[in-house]
Amino acid sequence: MIKKISRSIRAKSTLIALVILCFSCAASLGLATGYYTLFLNDGRELAPGTLICLLAGVVVACSVIGFILLYFAAKFISDPLIHMSTATKEIAKGNFDVVIEHKSEDELGILAKNFTLMAAELKTMEYLRKDFMSNVSHEFKTPIASIQGFVEMLQDRNLSDEEFDQYTQIIIEETSRLNRLCSNMLKMSRLDNQVIYDKSVSFSLDEHIRKVVLLLEEQWSKKNLDLDIYLEPIMYWGDPELLQQLWMNLIENGIKFSPEHRTITITAKELSTTILVNIADEGIGIAEENVSRIFEKFYQADTSHAQAGNGLGLAIVKRIVELCGGTIQCESKPGAGTTFTVILPK
């Protein structure tokens, strides 16, 4: 693509130079012919000195006209490049609010448009990077501060056995929270650096989902949740370990945000070219303005943090689905529940 653009610009520049040269020569010869016709064509032969002066005038006129035209042609080509060079320096300084206006539809116009889009993408990435660091710091700082506080309280020798047990339990819970956070961050890092999954085998997808449901039985039984499961027999070619993490995260998410005595519905059906898996709960739901952001790293729609979590579960889910070449959709209504639809290619 770069070579193609450079050849196009080179061809255009060469064509402009040739047009300018021809125009300059034609204009200069026209001036010389006109001068000769008006002032020197009286039937006499031109003196050698006069002829030399005339030819010199043609050369000078040709050079002047050519220089002027070449200057404006070069300015037309070089101005956008100068603007891009200046914009590049601004981006190098960390200023991503760069817009290059170039209305033409030629290669330079396309380059300017793509450069502006690149600057906007870099600005978004920089924002996400800063937001990521802020979220990581917050997620680590909160449990560490809690652990430190309760460890200091444990140094009080006048604590009752009940208080001692309560504080140690909180420390254990916060330590587990840190452990989950580190584990999820490692998983996210591994998935981000993974282009394809190379442990693909053929397996029964419906049985695979049932096993995940059994693994989570303690969690959904504790809240007296009913699970309605409708799974067609489906053979799938993929990585069972990755898919298990996918279903674990989605079903755990439904359990976590469902009140007691509600229902979680899991369905899977095979279409002509895709496989559809739906996981629907009757939980608290997600506000419409938050649905588009739930797959972002560390984003939590529950800003009250009433539910334990670190905002990485759904980000991991989305990355796994992408590695499988599929898509994931979310439909939710506050107070009515949430439905996740995973679409996998066959």
Q: Looking at the structure, do residues 210 and 154 belong to the same domain, yes or no?
A: no
Determine, yes or no, domain membership for 123: no
76 is a domain residue = yes
Residues with Cβ within 8 Å of residue 106, at least 6 apart in sequence: 8, 12
d(C-alpha 318, C-alpha 42), whole Å: 90
Q: Residue 102: inside a domain, yes or no?
A: no
Please give the pLDDT value at position 19: 66
d(CA 236, CA 203): 6
* Contact predicate 254/313, CB 8 Å: no
Pairing of strands 226-231, 274-280: unpaired
> CB 184: neighbour CB atoms within 10 A?
20
pLDDT at 2: 36
- Asked if residue 75 and residue 26 are part of one domain, the reply reads yes
Structure confidence at residue 306 (pLDDT): 45
In terms of domains, do 188 and 205 share one? Answer: no
DSSP state of 107: H
Residues 290 and 161 in one domain: no
292 and 170 in one domain? no
Residues 142 and 213 in one domain: no
Contact 282, 263 (CB under 8 A): yes
Tell me the two tokens of residue 333: 């209504």
Domain boundary among 172, 192, 212: 192
Helix (H, G, I), strand (E, B) or coil at 275: strand
162 and 236 share one domain: no
DSSP annotation of 201: E
For residue 68, the model assigns a pLDDT of 73
CA 70 to chain centre: 43
Two structure tokens written together for 258: 């469902």
Q: Which residues, other chains included, contact 146 with Cβ-Cβ below 8 Å and sequence gap of 6+?
A: 170, 174
Instruction: Quote the pLDDT of residue 228.
Output: 92
Q: Tell me, yes or no, whether 124 lies in a domain.
A: no
Task: Indicate whether 325 and 228 sit together in one domain.
Answer: yes
The region, left, alpha or beta by phi > 0 then psi within -120 to 50, assigned to residue 26 is alpha
For residue 314, what are the domain limits? 201-345
If one counts the domains in the chain, the total is 3
Instruction: Please tell me the predicted confidence (pLDDT) of residue 285.
Output: 86
CA 197 from chain centre, in angstroms, equals 21
Domain CATH code at residue 173: 1.10.287.130
**pTM of the predicted model, to two decimals?**
0.54
| In a domain? residue 179 | yes
- Using the 3D structure, point to which of 143, 167, 192 is the last residue of a domain: 192
Are 162 and 227 part of one and the same domain? no
- Report the CATH number that the domain containing residue 244 is assigned in CATH: 3.30.565.10
Contact partners, residue 114, CB within 8 Å, separation at least 6: none
Amino acid identity, position 294: I
Residue 207 has, within 13 A of its CA and on its CB side, a CA count of: 6
Asked if residue 279 belongs to a domain, the reply is yes
Question: How far, in whole angstroms, is CA 178 from its chain's centroid?
Answer: 28
Residue after which a domain boundary falls, among 75, 95, 115: 95
| Residue 249: inside a domain | yes
Question: Which residues make beta-bridge pairs with 261?
Answer: none
Interhelix angle 161-192/313-323, nearest 10 degrees: 30
Claim to verify: residue 216 and residue 295 sit in the same structural domain: yes
Residuewise pLDDT in 10s, the chain (346 residues): 333 344 455 556 666 666 666 666 666 666 556 655 555 555 455 555 665 666 666 666 666 766 776 667 667 767 777 777 787 887 777 777 777 776 666 677 777 778 778 877 777 777 666 666 666 666 677 778 878 888 888 887 787 888 888 888 888 888 877 777 777 667 666 666 665 556 788 999 999 999 989 888 888 888 999 999 999 999 999 888 888 888 988 998 889 888 898 999 999 999 989 999 999 998 888 888 788 778 777 666 554 444 555 567 788 888 888 888 899 999 988 888 899 999 999 8
Same domain, yes or no, for 318 and 338? yes
Residues 180 and 66 in one domain: no
Cα atoms in the Cβ-side hemisphere of radius 13 Å centred on 147: 13
